[in-house]
Amino acid sequence: KAGVTQTPRYLIKTRGQQVTLSCSPISGHRSVSWYQQTPGQGLQFLFEYFSETQRNKGNFPGRFSGRQFSNSRSEMNVSTLELGDSALYLCASSSSPGITGELFFGEGSRLTVL
Amino acid sequence: AQKITQTQPGMFVQEKEAVTLDCTYDTSDQSYGLFWYKQPSSGEMIFLIYQGSYDEQNATEGRYSLNFQKARKSANLVISASQLGDSAMYFCAMTRAPGGSEKLVFGKGMKLTVNP
C-alpha cells in the first residue's frame, strides 16, 4: 500500500512568486491535513480537509490556501512568497477525522524562497 | 489550548541501551490523543505510537512503549534496545480525540543520537 506522496520534494522560488504543492493521501484515506515546519516556529498546523471541505484552518495569513479534490488529493498554494515562507511543508492523511491513532505523513516538500 | 512540552534538546545513548524521551502536555479536554513521531534527516514524519486518554493500558509497538501518566500529564516514549537507525528527531504531539479534528499540536522535538 503506497504511503502519502508529496510533490515536488524540493523547490526554489523567489519573493513575490507563488507556489503550489501537491499531496496524494494513502489510498482510501479521505482526510488530509497540512503542516509547516520551520526551525524557529517548529511544526504548525495549516489546514485540514475532509471530503473536499476545509474543516479547520490554522493561524496563517490568507496567502496560504488549499483545496481537496474528489479523489482526496490535496493542493496547497502560497501566493506572494516571502522569505519567511521557506520551510518544510508536510502533508498527513487519515481515513477520516477522529479516527484516532491513524495519521500518516509524507516526506514533505522543502520550499526555499530567495 | 493544548500544549506539548519537550524539555530535552538532545540525548545520547549507546546502542542496545534503553532510552526514555520526556513529554508533558497541557489540555483542558477530557478526551485527547497523544502521538510520538520520528523524523530522520530526510524529513518524513514517521508514526511510532499512539495513546488515547481513555486507554487504560500503556501503548506498545515493538521496541516502542508509551509511559502514560495521566495525573502527571506525561507521555514519555521508551525505546528499548536502541539501534543506530533510531538516531533522529523525535516529536510528541496531541490532538482532540475521539471525534475531534486531526489538528496536531507538536512539541519542539528532541534529537536522539545513538552511538555504536
Instruction: Please choose, from the candidates A45, A12, A26, A64, the residue with its C-alpha nearest in 3D space to the C-alpha of residue B4.
Output: A45
- Please state the rounded mean pLDDT for residues B75-83: 97
- Residues of chain B whose beta carbon is less than 8 angstroms from a beta carbon of chain A are 33, 35, 37, 42-47, 50, 52, 91, 93, 95, 97-109
**Which one has a higher pLDDT value, A78 or B33?**
A78
CB contacts, 8 Å: A97 with chain B: 99-102
Q: What percent of chain A stands above pLDDT 70? A: 94
Kindly report whether the peptide bond that precedes residue B98 is cis, defined as omega within 30 degrees of 0. yes
Signed CA dihedral, A52, A60, B28, B39: sign only = positive
Q: Which of B42, B91, B109 faces A107 most closely, judged by CB atoms?
A: B42
Q: How far apart are CA A99 and CA B82, in angstroms?
A: 30
CB contacts, 8 Å: A48 with chain B: 101-103
For residue B114, is pLDDT > 50? Answer: yes
- State the average pLDDT for chain B: 91
CB A66 within 8 Å of CB A49: yes
Q: How far apart are CA A62 and CA B1, in angstroms?
A: 23
CB B6 within 8 Å of CB B109: yes
**Which one has a higher pLDDT value, B14 or B2?**
B14
β-bridge partners, B38: B46, B90
pLDDT value at position B95? 85
Signed CA dihedral, A41, A53, A70, A100: sign only = positive
H and E: helices and strands count for chain B: 0, 12
Give CA angle at A106 (A101, A110), nearest 5°: 135
pLDDT per residue over B42-59, tens digit each?
888 999 999 988 888 999
- Smallest Cα distance from B37 to chain A, Å: 10
CB contacts, 8 Å: A58 with chain B: 103
pLDDT per residue over A3-42, tens digit each?
999 999 999 999 999 999 999 999 988 889 999 999 999 9
Q: Is A45 on the interface with B (CB under 8 A)?
A: yes
For residue B99, is pLDDT > 50? Answer: no
